[in-house]
Amino acid sequence: MALIVQKYGGTSVGSIEKIRDVAQRVLEYYKEGNQMIVVLSAMAGQTDGLIQLARKMSDDPPSRELDVLMATGEQVSVALFSMAVRSMGYNACSLLGFQVPIHTDDLYGKARIHDIDTDRIRKELEKGCVVAVAGFQGLDREGNITTLGRGGSDTTAVALAAAIKADVCEIFTDVKGVYTTDPNICPKARKLETISYDEMLEMASLGAKVLEIRSVEFAKKFDVPIHVRSTFSRERGTMVIAETRDMEKVLVSGVTYNKNEARVTIKKVPDQPGTAAQIFEPIFQAGVVVDMIVQNTSEEGLTDLTFTVPKADFHKTMKSVSEVAGRIGAEKVLGDEDIAKVSIIGVGMRNHAGVAQKMFHVLASENINIMMISTSEIKISCVIEEKYTELAVRVLHKAFGLEDEAYPEK
């Protein structure tokens, strides 16, 4: 007998029929003698719908009330799920965040979980109930309802699994697991059997939106193994776990891309103390998250500075940088929205030389120009022209031996 936490995302509980299917699947585990805690998201589209409602009422809805409103999405799905289980002749009990309770800080809309009281859940489990916990929500110290940020039900599930020392945390979603790259642009993408927390964090932050980033950070901190798998299939998915020796043998585990960034270059910036601070100050003030920053060694006291920002913040950033450039006497500001960042990720890179060289070589052989490069211990990223994204991903995926051999050539 095991204690299992399962989380089902919005598409998995997107209709009455689907909620019934989930209830049936959960009961299969229950009938085998397992204790079941089920964390649910709101039915697909509901959270967006609630946010739209709020916007109709107010241009700038108060964050406390927005959280009260958004938390209702998950209330609906846990109630309906419990009804489904009971209609099948078994016992179930729904619990909202404040009933568990799940304690958080008071940052509405992006609250962090402090601790979870597991007594109530344990009591319900002992009564033989399947316990359905509303994802994405908690309670601050003053007793206010909080939400954890979009996609936050993953974090609820992982945090619960850690607090109650569950044997496994299974995240059910609409994909079969974590892939070596985006199967939509590379049909030979392969499902990974395992991936380390660190690799997953890099994959998630680069846009492989299988798991919410914070849930992976949580899992890493408390060493909770996560099984990411599909609600619509019986196949095993991908285990996200602590790094093992075996993982180091693989140079690259995945190729990711991000088309959501734009590049800003400031030409001939006077190379003296304080210029970078002056340039970035207004950008940070405006809440823009700068990603890569590259500065050249200076020639005759002048240097070029290039960095990337989210596309959505491009125009705002160009305006701010142009103002500063005038003030500090830089030559000109150039912007480019048609870029993409392609990255290779793998813990095996740590102990192997030549991985970067191979990446550059592969891109060169397709005549793809590299505009910027950045590296970390387990990741190498290159900024290239956006129109080459798919090609770059495919050739890198192949060159690093990630292809699914079983997949027929197109």
Residue closer to ligand ASP (CB basis): 150 or 316: 150
10/237 with CB nearer ligand ASP: 10
**Which amino acid belongs to residue 213?**
I
The residue among 97 and 151 lying less far from ligand ASP, judged by its C-beta, is 151
Specify the amino acid at residue 92: A
Which of ligand ASP, Mg ion, none lies near 136, with the C-beta cut-off 5 to 8 A by kind?
ligand ASP
- Beta-carbon contacts of residue 58 (< 8 Å; ≥ 6 apart): none
| Residue 389 in contact with Mg ion, rule: CB under 5 A | no
Interface pattern 44-73 for ligand ASP (x via CB under 6 A)? ---x-------------------------x
Measure the CA–CA gap between 260 and 59, rounded to whole angstroms.
26
> CB-based contacts of 240: which residues, under 8 Å, 6+ apart?
178, 194, 195, 196, 197, 200, 211, 216, 219, 225, 226, 227, 228
Q: Which of 152, 177, 237, 348 binds ligand ASP (CB under 6 A)?
A: 152
Comparing CA positions, the residue from 1, 2, 6 lying closest to residue 161 is 6
Question: 9 or 14, CB closer to Mg ion?
Answer: 9
- Cα dihedral angle (47, 48, 52, 55), rounded to 10 degrees? 80
User: Using CB under 6 A, which of 14, 138, 151, 346 touches ligand ASP?
Assistant: 151
Distance CA 49, CA 32 (A): 38
Q: Interaction with ligand ASP in 26-45: which residues (CB under 6 A)? A: 41-42
Rule CB under 6 A: say whether 215 interacts with ligand ASP.
no
Select 42 or 159, whichever has its Cβ closest to ligand ASP: 42
Q: Choose from ligand ASP, Mg ion, none: what does 14 bind? Cβ within 5-8 Å by kind.
A: none
- Which range in 10-18, 19-27, 55-63, 266-274 contacts Mg ion by CB under 5 A? 10-18
Name the binder of 122 from ligand ASP, Mg ion, none, CB < 5-8 A by kind: none
41 counts as binding Mg ion under rule CB under 5 A? yes
Three-state secondary-structure class, residue 246: helix
Name the residue nearer to Mg ion (CB basis): 42 or 359.
Answer: 42
The token pair that represents 81 in the structure block: 């799920």
The closest of 214, 215, 220, 218 to 241, measured between CA atoms, is 220
**Judging by DSSP bridges, how do beta strands 3-8 and 35-40 pair with one another?**
parallel
Asked if 135 is part of the footprint of ligand ASP (rule: CB under 6 A), the reply reads yes
Chain mean position to CA 348: 22
For Mg ion, give the closer residue by CB, 74 or 291: 74
Stretch that binds ligand ASP, among 150-158, 159-167, 184-192, 349-357 (CB under 6 A): 150-158
Q: What is the largest CA-CA distance in the chain?
A: 81
> What is the helix (H) or strand (E) element at residue 276, kind and residue range?
helix 275-285
Of the candidates 134, 285, 280, 162, the one whose C-alpha atom is nearest the C-alpha of residue 221 is 162
Binding region for Mg ion (CB under 5 A): 9-10, 41
Binding region for ligand ASP (CB under 6 A): 9-10, 41-42, 47, 73, 135-136, 150-153
